[in-house]
Amino acid sequence: MIKRRKFAKRSKVKTGKFIKSNQKTVFLVFIFIIGLFSGAFSIKNADAQTLVKIKEISENYLLMKNTDSVMQNFISSAVTDLVFIGVSAVFGLCLAGAPLLWALPAVRGLGIGIILGYIYSTYSVDGLLYAIAAICIPASFSVCALIISCKESILTVKDIQLAFANQKEINTKQYYKLYILRNIILYIVMLFSAALGSVVVLLPNVSLPA
C-alpha cells in the first residue's frame, strides 16, 4: 500500500514536471482540442443557413477524398498542410506574430472537427471506422507537426523581440538556417500524413456506408 502511494506520488511529480517544462505545447494541444470540439458540435448548434454551408463543405470534402486519385488526394492534403506550416513559419518571424500562432491549432482543429461532426451526424457509429482510419490517424501526425511548429515559432518571436530590445544576441545566419530546416523536417512529417490519408481510403473496410 505504501509502495503504491509512493508510486502515485512520483507519477504526479513527473506529470507536473512534464507539464511545467512543456507548458506551451500543452496549451497549444488544449487550444487544438477546443477547436476540434467546437467544430464537431457546430453542426448540432448551427442555424439552418450555417448548417447548409457546413454540409456542403463536408460533402464536397468527403466526395473528393473518396473519388479522387491517390495523387490528387495527396496533393490536396499536402497543399493544405503547406499553408498551415507556411503561416506558422512566416508569423514566427514577425514581432507581433504570437497571437495568430496561438490561434492556428484552433483553426486546424475546427476544420477537422466539422468533418468528424458531419460524419457522426450523418452515419452515426457506422462511420466511426472511416473517421478514425481516414481522418483521425493521418491528422494526428500533421497536427503534432503543426503544434511543434507553432511552439517553435512562438519561441522564435520571443527571441526576435529580445534581440530587438538588445537583451539577447542571435547568430542570425545560423539561427534562421536552423529555423528553416526545422520547418522543412516538420513539413516532411506532414507529407507522410498526407500520403497515409491518401492511401488508407483504398483499404476495403475503410469506406462510408452507402
Confidence of residue 165 (pLDDT cuts 50, 70, 90): confident
Query: Quick one: pLDDT at residue 109?
Result: 96
Answer for the pair 45, 116: CB distance below 8 angstroms, yes or no. Answer: no
Q: What is the mean pLDDT of residues 90-103?
A: 94
- Is the pLDDT at 7 greater than 80, yes or no? no
Residue 151: is it exposed, middle or buried by C-beta count within 10 angstroms (0-12/13-18/19+)? Answer: buried
Query: Quick one: pLDDT at residue 12?
Result: 59
Query: Quick one: pLDDT at residue 22?
Result: 85
Q: Which of 190, 173, 175 is nearest to 87 (CA)?
A: 190
Q: pLDDT higher for 12 or 52?
A: 52
Q: What is the mean pLDDT of residues 148-168?
A: 90
Q: What is the mean pLDDT of residues 37-55?
A: 86
- Grid coordinates given for 41: 458540435
Query: Quick one: pLDDT at residue 35?
Result: 96
- Is the pLDDT at 113 greater than 90, yes or no? yes
Indicate the SS3 state at residue 170: coil
Q: What is the mean pLDDT of residues 26-52?
A: 90
One-letter amino acid for residue 27 of the chain: F
- For 105-108, which contacts have Cβ atoms below 8 Å and span 24 or more sequence positions? 105/28, 105/29, 105/31, 105/32, 105/35, 105/143, 105/146, 105/147, 105/150, 106/31, 106/32, 106/34, 106/35, 106/38, 107/35, 108/32, 108/35, 108/84, 108/143, 108/146
Cα torsion at 48, 53, 54, 58 (round to 10°)? 140
Instruction: Look at phi and psi of residue 162 and say left if phi exceeds 0, alpha if psi is from -120 to 50, else beta.
Output: alpha
- Is the pLDDT at 210 greater than 80, yes or no? no
Query: Quick one: pLDDT at residue 103?
Result: 97
CA distance 145 to 190: 7
Query: Quick one: pLDDT at residue 128?
Result: 87
CA distance 161 to 95: 6
- Is the pLDDT at 29 greater than 80, yes or no? yes
Q: What is the mean pLDDT of residues 134-153?
A: 95
